[in-house]
Amino acid sequence: MTDTSIDRSAAVGFTTSGRILGIARRSPTFAIGFAIVTAFAFVAIFADLISPYGAIETFSRQVLQPPGVEFFFGADGNGMDVFSRVMYGARYAFGIAVPAATLMLLIGVPLGLVAGYKGGVLDEVVLRIMDVLRSFPSIVLALAVVSATGQSLINVILVIGFLDAPIFARLVRSEVLALRSSGFIESAVAAGNPTWRILFVHLMPNAIRGSTAMIAVRMAWAVRISATLAFIGVGIQAPTPEWGAMIRQGAEFVISGEWWVALFPGAALVGIVLGFNLLGDGLQDLLDPRRKATGK
């Protein structure tokens, strides 16, 4: 039997503050995640204005100076201000996560849509790629590809985007299969919709809605992987203010006691990745029909 206690009074009494509080109460993880990501985005956009020094401005006399008034996060091995470089690093985090996510969407969604809807050969191919990728740990694959194809920023983005596309394609594909079983695809076919309309007017909006939560989680993964590549010395290299590269540089000084060089970029990295993950997890709660609170 359908759930017919339709709540018409929801539209009444909408206030922005009420809505924010409502969402925060419903899914605190989403609220915290959203706050963190917006904060990092703010820092990334206005890094030039708010950072005390330039990204690669060196102060030869203050090399490895501990955190203090002059250098909030201390200075690194080349006498650069860690605090400013961490701020500029936020640009690289978004600079990699956003294009990688777009690439993942551009390839993954159509692939997933067609594989899920058409089935047959293409579906088999996507599945086979998935099997190969699944038993082929992504870190190693990324490493092998980047080390083979060169360490530019574009390369890293391309590698992460292409690596993630099949994973995203599989998510979209499972959403499509779920939608197919729900019957409204059958009624779209029976109505006489041509295939392109079924794919892009009917399937895509619903499949995307189902996988939005996944985009945030995959962006978190993209940031982490790019930092790992940089840390190992295969991705973006110093002096670019990329957090992974900064941690790599800081690693040498940990043994000799200068903890701050590696600590702060790492903390920022954990911060933004946690933010994306919280956002993704929270979105999962909000968008998940089962958890809506309309009682029977």
Partner 1 sequence: MVVPILLGITFLTFMLVRIGDQNPVAMLGGPMADEVTFAVIEKELGLDKPFFVQFGIYLGNLVQGDLGESWQSSERVADEIRNRLPASLELLVFSVLLGALVGVPVGLRSAQRPNGLFDQVSRFVSLFGFSVPTYWIALMSIFVFFFLLRWAPPPMGRLDIASFPPPDLTGSYFIDSVLTGNWTTAWSALGQLTLPVILFSIIVAAPIIKHTRAISLEVLASDYVRYARAQGLRPRTVRRVALRNAITPILTFIGTELTGLLAAVSLLELIFAWGGLGQWGLNAILLGDFAAVQGYVLVLAVFSVAIFIVLDLLVLLLEPRATLRP
Partner 2 sequence: MVEPILQVRDLVKHFAGNRPGEIIHAVNKVSFDLNPGETLGLVGESGSGKSTIGRCVVRLYRPTAGSIRFGDRDISTISEGQMRPLRKEIQIVFQDPYSALNPRMKVGNLIGELVKLHSDLDAPARRERVTALAARVHLNADLLTRYPNELSGGQLQRVCIARALATNPKVIVLDEPTSSLDLSVRAGILELLGELQRETGVAMLFISHDLETVQLVSHRILVLYLGSVVEDGPAEAVFAKPAHPYAQALLSADLPPDPDVVLDRQILQGEVPGPVHLPPGCPFAPRCPLSREDCTRAMPPLASVGANHHAACVRIADGTNDIRSAHASTGGDIHKKFQDQFVRRTT
Partner 3 sequence: MSLLEVRNLHTHFVSHDLNNRSRIAKGLNGVSFEVDKGEIVGIVGETGAGKSLTAMSIMGLLQPPARIVEGSVRFDGNELVGLGVDDLNRIRGTELTMIVQSPLTSLDPLSRVGKQLVRAQREHRNMSSDAAWRAGADMLATVGIPDAERRMRAWPHELSGGMAQRILIALALINGPRMLIADEPTTGLDVTVQAQILDLLKNLVRDRDMAAMIITHDLGVVAHYCTRMCVMFAGSIIEMGPVRQVFNDPRHPYTQALISSTPKRIAEKGYSQIGGPPPNLYDLPEGCHYRDRCSRAADLCRTTPPLKNVGGNHVAMCHFADKEAADGTVTSHG
Task: Note the residues at the interface with partner 2 (CB under 8 A).
Answer: 1-2, 4, 6, 8, 182-184, 186-194, 201-202, 205-206, 209
Which of residues 111 and 198 has its CB atom nearest to partner 2 in the complex?
198
Residue 3 found at the interface with partner 3 (CB under 8 A): yes
Q: What is the DSSP string of 176-231?
A: HHHHHHHTHHHHHHHTT--HHHIIIIIIHHHHHHHHHHHHHHHHHHHHHHHHHHHH
Which of residues 142 and 157 has its CB atom nearest to partner 1 in the complex?
142
Considering CB distances under 5 to 8 angstroms, the limit depending on partner class, which of partner 3, partner 1, partner 2, none binds residue 22?
partner 3
CB of 191 to partner 2, least distance (A): 6
CB of 248 to partner 1, least distance (A): 9
Which of residues 18 and 68 has its CB atom nearest to partner 3 in the complex?
18
- What DSSP designation does 75 have? B
Residue 4 found at the interface with partner 3 (CB under 8 A): yes
CA 43 to chain centre: 17
CB of 215 to partner 2, least distance (A): 18
Residue 290 found at the interface with partner 3 (CB under 8 A): no
Longest dimension (CA), the chain: 76
CB of 18 to partner 3, least distance (A): 4
d(CA 110, CA 106): 7
d(CA 19, CA 63): 49
Residue 289 found at the interface with partner 3 (CB under 8 A): no
One-letter amino acid at 288 equals: D
Residues 6 or more apart whose Cβ sits within 8 Å of residue 81? 51, 52, 53, 57, 59, 71, 73, 75
Q: Which chain residues interact with partner 3 by CB under 8 A?
A: 1-10, 13-15, 18-19, 21-26, 293-296
